[in-house]
Structure 1
Amino acid sequence: MEFKVEFKGSYAILFAHLDPGETVIGESGAMVSISGNVDIKTTTGGVFKALKRAFLGGEHIFLNKYTAKNKSTILFAPRLPGDIDVIDLNGTVFLQSTSYLASEENIDLDTKFGGFKTFFSGEGFFLLKLSGIGKVAISSFGAIFKITLQPVEKLTVDTGHVVAFDETVKYSVRTFGGIKSTIFGGEGLVVDFEGPGNVYIQTRNYPDYVKWIKSIAPKDTGSR
């Protein structure tokens, strides 16, 4: 199986090239096109895990399972305008809830409690947890880039810009600059990371973008 990203940047698309018998799992609604003879099944990946993803991690209950009967290509695109990166996973990675796009069949998708404070601003208390060996495609809002932390090296990131991070990375969530900055300064929660491991960051903040759209949207006054 080959994962190839085209049109990297604001409107990236994932090309999943499958040999006969290979299977790729895709986020519900992410499929753009299919070429070849492909068997498609809808799966929950386990009912309990699906319910946790839906109600705790923000993901859909159902995933689509594509199995190639001959050489086939499936295109996937994320819901938000942004980039796609492919992780060659050998272990565990944690994702924010909007960043899962597709993965090889043997990757296990679950959720993990992220701590008492809301980990991703507006996204809930849980992280998506992907474990196994194989390819995982993740998406971002805006461009995506990876920072590799050395042992005990530290990095602080606004929660709205975090896409993913390795299990080996330690993290803690805190308010930024005290309560006044949190309420009046336009900043909310930040994540303190400590290496070793990779942290994936997006260049745009989806919760802030939604707030901005709401601020300029026409208000319904109720008058006719």
Structure 2
Amino acid sequence: MQVRTRHTPAFGVARLMLAPDEAVRADYGAMMATSFGVVINTGGRGGKRARGTYEAVFTAPAEGGWIDLAPGKAGDVHTIEMDGTSGWCVARGSALAMASSVRPDPQWPGLHALFGSEGGFVEHLTGHGAVVLACGGALDLVMLEAGEFVTVAPEYLLAYHDAIQCRLRAVDQTSAQSVRTGEGLLLDFAGPGQLLIQTRNF
């Protein structure tokens, strides 16, 4: 799968270029158009178009094809190239599409260190291939050097490389907190590593 973007950074659209018979998982609710002949399998969900669920598998015909995906919020689209040796943590619901060789890894120890047994607002992805992310507003790419620290509000986090050190803490111990939404929490990151921040919170 190759990814071409247009209308960025304000109203990004990602075009997924598929090889013959190549399949990709994508958010059916974000599908804008496809080339003729692309087969869509929604897993029996029919016309449901809920965003952020990767609920469809798109398969190109014998001659190949393309899919255009448009996020439900105004902003950029960004592609991460997974190398198969390390993973990425991405904000839950931000992935528009991922190659069939990329998969969520809910058992990754780093997630349990952050959220315990509860499902948090971040998911861990592993594998090899492209992941297309929907960004609220523009994208800030932060390269943290060794020994460099930064604090990020959860609602502005888009993704971070899993080699980076991350700690979750309360803004105020007396306020309400939720690991499912990030309410009342902050994320501390320590380099070295790469961090993606979105500039709008929708």
Which category describes the TM-score, using the shorter chain as reference length? 0.7 to 0.9
Contact residue 98 and residue 130 of structure 2 kept, 8 A? yes
Q: Distance in 2 between matches of 1:86 and 1:59?
A: 16
User: TM (normalized to structure 2)?
Assistant: 0.80
- Tell me the alpha carbon deviations over residues 76-116 of structure 1, each in whole angstroms, 9 at most, x when there is no partner: 11222221100111221111112111011110124344325
Match of 2:198 among 189, 197, 202: 202
Q: Secondary structure at the match of 2:87?
A: strand
Contact residue 36 and residue 68 of structure 1 kept, 8 A? no
- Tell me the alpha carbon deviations over residues 24-71 of structure 1, each in whole angstroms, 9 at most, x when there is no partner: 210131111011321222359xxxxxxxxxxxxx953x6211111123
Q: Distance in 1 between matches of 2:20 and 2:27?
A: 21
Q: Give matches, 1:100-179, under 5 Å.
A: 100-111=95-106, 112-113=111-112, 114-115=114-115, 125-176=120-171, 178=172
Contact residue 36 and residue 71 of structure 1 kept, 8 A? no
Q: Distance in 2 between matches of 1:126 and 1:11?
A: 24
- Tell me the alpha carbon deviations over residues 174-204 of structure 1, each in whole angstroms, 9 at most, x when there is no partner: 233x458x68xxx942211012221110001
- Structure 2 CA distance for partners of 1:11 and 1:98, relative to 1, 3 Å: same
Q: Distance in 1 between matches of 2:68 and 2:43?
A: 19
Structure 1 unpaired stretches of 5+: 45-57, 119-123, 207-224
Q: Distance in 2 between matches of 1:131 and 1:88?
A: 11
Contact residue 89 and residue 132 of structure 1 kept, 8 A? yes
User: TM (normalized to structure 1)?
Assistant: 0.72
Q: Give matches, 1:1-224, under 5 Å.
A: 1-43=1-43, 60=53, 63-69=55-61, 70-90=63-83, 91-111=86-106, 112-113=111-112, 114-115=114-115, 125-176=120-171, 178=172, 188-206=184-202
Q: Which has the higher helix share?
A: 1
Higher gyration radius (CA): 1
User: Partner amino acid for 2:27?
Assistant: E
Contact residue 74 and residue 136 of structure 2 kept, 8 A? yes
**Identical columns (%):** 28
Q: Distance in 2 between matches of 1:59 and 1:127?
A: 13
